[in-house]
């Protein structure tokens, strides 16, 4: 009972902090006629950590078709030129600007070979997340934070949708025994969010002139060990990877009308 109450308290605190971190005055859509552009990169510096991998402990014929016996946890992806993928870059204190529009592919989640695709999701506040599973096994999507759902996917290629009415950060994981499956979702109330690819690049266009705080957020790449979890299908205790906390970096940027402002982030194991 003590463990259960402690877990409930932790989840309540996580939801509160996740929502609070995104709280700000209501965003106002305006016609941006003299907007500027912010572009830049997120690059890695120093030795590259070892790949974060985890043993395949369930459904190897589906989750491990290549017979590697381990899966990449996808916590740190560094491209050939040093770009860090899956970094979320956003403007922190913007209150007005262009209409909210986000990449369509980041609003649709697939479960493929026991991975969440894409690994980082961006969904508009009051928008809809569409989910499906391409795997011929039972998955569940468990969400903590600004959204709280536990959704089963017993059949392949059947789409399930859920509205996301609250801005904030949402952690996704599988409670069906595929303990390595993890993803993050940002539910956002303005359009100045981007997710980097392996080049590490990001760009915001039509930004109203002004000075802003620009934030780079990464889910973190440290593997601290394992924690006990519950497989809802077998009703047995399983071991889930325990990750380090997310990391953020912040800079100030001034945007001038019809000009390009450049902001580059350099991150490493030490910072």
In order of their start, the domains of the chain are 2-267 (2.60.40.420)
Decide: helix, strand or coil at residue 197: coil
pTM value is 0.89
Residue with tokens 């956002």: 188
Q: Specify the pLDDT at position 90.
A: 98
Q: Please count the other Cβ atoms lying within 10 Å of the Cβ belonging to residue 153.
A: 22
CB under 8 A, 24+ apart: contacts of 243-250: 243/75, 243/182, 243/219, 244/220, 245/220, 246/217, 246/218, 246/219, 246/220, 247/217, 247/218, 247/220, 248/215, 248/216, 248/217, 248/218, 249/215, 249/216, 250/92, 250/213, 250/214, 250/215, 250/216
- pLDDT in single tens digits along all 271 residues of the chain: 434 333 443 444 444 444 444 545 689 999 999 999 999 999 999 998 876 899 999 999 999 999 999 999 999 999 999 999 999 999 998 999 999 999 999 999 999 999 999 999 999 999 999 999 999 999 999 999 999 999 999 999 999 999 999 999 999 999 889 999 999 999 999 999 999 999 999 999 999 999 999 999 999 999 898 888 767 666 778 889 999 999 999 999 999 999 999 999 999 987 6
Q: E strand or H helix at 33, and its extent?
A: none
Distance CA 194, CA 169 (A): 15
């Amino acid at each position: 009972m003590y463990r259960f109450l402690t877990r409930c308290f932790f989840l309540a605190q996580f939801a509160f902090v996740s929502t609070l971190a995104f709280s700000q005055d209501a965003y106002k859509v305006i016609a941006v006629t003299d907007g500027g552009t912010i572009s830049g990169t997120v690059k890695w510096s120093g030795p590259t950590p070892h790949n974060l991998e985890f043993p395949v402990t369930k459904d190897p014929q589906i989750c491990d078709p290549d017979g590697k016996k381990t899966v990449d946890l996808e916590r740190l992806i560094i491209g050939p030129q040093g770009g860090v993928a899956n970094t979320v870059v956003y403007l922190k204190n913007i209150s007005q600007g262009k209409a909210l529009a986000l990449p369509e592919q980041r609003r649709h989640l697939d479960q493929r070979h026991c991975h969440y695709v894409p690994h980082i999701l961006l969904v508009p506040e009051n928008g809809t997340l569409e989910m499906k599973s391409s795997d011929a096994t039972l998955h569940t999507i468990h969400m903590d934070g600004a959204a709280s759902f536990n959704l089963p996917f017993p059949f392949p290629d059947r789409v399930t949708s859920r509205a996301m009415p609250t801005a904030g950060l949402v952690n996704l994981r599988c409670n069906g025994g595929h303990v390595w499956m993890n993803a993050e979702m940002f539910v956002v109330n303005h359009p100045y969010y981007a997710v980097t690819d392996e080049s590490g690049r990001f760009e915001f266009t039509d930004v109203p002139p002004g000075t802003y705080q620009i934030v780079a957020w990464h889910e973190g790449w440290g593997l601290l060990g394992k924690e006990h979890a519950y497989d809802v299908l077998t009703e047995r205790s399983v071991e889930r990877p325990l990750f380090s906390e997310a990391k953020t970096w912040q800079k100030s940027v001034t945007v001038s009308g019809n000009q390009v402002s450049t902001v580059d982030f350099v991150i490493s194991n030490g910072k």
